[in-house]
């Protein structure tokens, strides 16, 4: 364990009390001198600007060392500190009005001249009972704390022994400026010295700035309220649109369910019709085969027998195609399918059936009901048929199919 070189008091260190800053530009360390002096140091190779307080580590130290309820003293090393962020100033100002635990004195030492005025502003708004000292080096600072604890320097530390009017005027100026800048106190009563005093113009300037700040805050509040109102209005509009979309989605879901049920019903009907056609085709084919056998055994002229047999075979072929297309075909329909299939062998059975129905003057909606498909699906098939058959875009598919037998006669 180390000891303070000035007082000989033991110095307590913990690894968890030392850490790097979020930006990695310095290392901060807390130590405990004796049992009531908390020492804060920062190690850096260059000048640093403090961004935020580290109250969490300070609270952890006090909790771990069971210092709650005790009067404590804070010693802060300002080596390499060249500035404080606005956030730090606000946090520190808030902290000195809400000290927890009970710090009795705060001593800054190794102060860069560039930050002394800002520390003077901190000191100027320190509440009554909190000693706020700006010291030279470590030896002077720790000696000041020991003298304060013994009561020898308490009047000097609290400012009660200050003499003369000018130092008090300076403190009043700095405290007024700090309260406006860091606490946004724009309604405070500003002290005004006599008009003959050298500082009178500066306090009058503060009074003008206070009015400007107050107007700026009112303007800011107005803009903020308008922005909030716009946000509420936009939120209400978005909520209404969202609710309408949800309701539309529900309606669409109901429609989709109804369409699904309708399609299922059509598919079922289509299956029954297909079964009926298949059964009828099978019976017809069986009858035609029997008829062909009877014709073969018939005692008639060969030409007549040949003609009758050809008719029967054509009917058998028509029945085969009906079974493939699940549609009852006339002789003309069967001939059309044969011709279309010969001319365009790349068409499948569904496309052949759709072509037949188009030729028979059925529209897409009728075809969709007959085949158990959506209208959009039929339209997509018709579009693909244009490309597969090789018809120009401006030509009608129905016209092409209607004229097909003429082209192939």
Domain boundary residue among 185, 219, 245? 185
Q: Which pLDDT does position 164 carry in this prediction?
A: 46
Whether 332 is in a domain gets the answer no
DSSP-H helix ranges across 83-199: 86-96, 113-124, 138-150, 154-158, 166-183
Q: What parts of the chain have a pLDDT lower than 50?
A: 160-164, 325, 406-409
Is 30 inside any structural domain? yes
Is residue 85 in a domain? yes
- pLDDT for res 161: 41
Instruction: Identify whether 404 is part of a domain.
Output: yes
Residue 25's Cα: distance from chain center in Å? 31
Residue 178 lies in a domain: yes
Residue 399 belongs to a domain with what CATH number?
A: 1.10.10.10
- Crossing angle of helices 375-389 and 364-371, in 10° steps, is 110
8 Å CB contact between 358 and 395 = no
H or E, element range at 335? helix 331-343
Give the residue numbers spanning the domain of 401. Answer: 345-409
Q: Among the three residues 127, 156, 185, which one is the final residue of a domain in this structure?
A: 185
Q: Give the β-pairing of 131-134 and 81-84.
A: unpaired
Quick one: which of 16, 57, 12 has its CA closest to 31? 12
Task: Tell me how far apart the alpha carbons of residues 68 and 97 are, in angstroms, rounded to a whole number.
Answer: 18
Assigned domain for 62 exists: yes
Whole-Å CA distances, 264 to 277, 363, 379: 20, 21, 20
Is 101 a domain residue? yes
235, part of any domain: no
Residue where a domain terminates, one of 185, 213, 238: 185
Domain count along the chain: 2
DSSP state of 393: T
Cβ proximity of 31 and 13 under 8 Å: yes
């Amino acid at each position: 364990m180390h000891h303070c070189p000035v007082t000989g008091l033991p110095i307590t260190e913990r690894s968890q009390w030392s850490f790097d800053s979020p930006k990695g530009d310095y290392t901060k360390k807390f130590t405990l001198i004796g049992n009531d002096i908390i020492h804060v140091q920062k190690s850096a190779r260059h000048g640093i600007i403090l961004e935020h307080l580290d109250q969490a580590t300070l609270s952890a130290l006090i909790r771990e060392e069971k210092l709650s309820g005790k009067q404590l003293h804070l010693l802060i090393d300002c080596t390499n500190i060249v500035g404080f962020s606005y956030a730090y100033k606000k946090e520190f100002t808030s902290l000195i009005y809400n000290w927890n635990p009970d710090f009795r004195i705060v001593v800054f030492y190794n102060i860069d001249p560039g930050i002394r005025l800002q520390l003077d502003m901190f000191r100027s708004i320190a509440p009554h009972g909190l000693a706020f000292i700006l010291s030279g080096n470590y030896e002077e600072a720790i000696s000041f704390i020991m003298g304060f604890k013994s009561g020898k320097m308490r009047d000097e530390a609290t400012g009660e022994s200050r003499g003369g009017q000018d130092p008090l005027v300076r403190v009043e100026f700095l405290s007024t400026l700090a309260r406006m800048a860091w606490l946004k106190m724009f309604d405070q009563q500003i002290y005004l010295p006599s008009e003959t005093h050298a500082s009178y113009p500066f306090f009058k300037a503060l009074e003008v700035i206070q009015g400007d700040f107050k107007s700026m805050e009112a303007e800011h509040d107005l803009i903020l309220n308008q922005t909030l109102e716009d946000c509420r209005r936009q939120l209400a509009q978005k909520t209404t649109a969202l609710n309408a979309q949800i309701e539309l989605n529900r309606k669409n879901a109901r429609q989709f369910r109804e369409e699904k049920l309708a399609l299922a019903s059509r598919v079922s009907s289509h299956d029954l019709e297909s079964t009926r056609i298949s059964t009828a085709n099978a019976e017809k084919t069986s009858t035609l085969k029997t008829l062909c056998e009877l014709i073969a055994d018939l005692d008639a002229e060969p030409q007549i027998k040949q003609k009758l047999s050809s008719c029967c075979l054509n009917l058998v072929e028509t029945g085969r195609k009906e079974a493939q297309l699940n549609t009852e075909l006339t002789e003309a329909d069967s001939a059309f399918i044969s011709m279309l299939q010969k001319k365009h062998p790349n068409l499948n059975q569904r496309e052949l059936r759709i072509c037949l129905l188009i030729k028979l003057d059925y529209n897409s909606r009728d075809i969709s009901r007959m085949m158990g498909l959506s209208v959009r699906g039929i339209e997509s098939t018709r579009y693909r048929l244009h490309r597969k058959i090789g018809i120009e875009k401006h030509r009608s598919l129905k016209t092409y199919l209607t004229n097909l037998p003429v082209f192939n006669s």
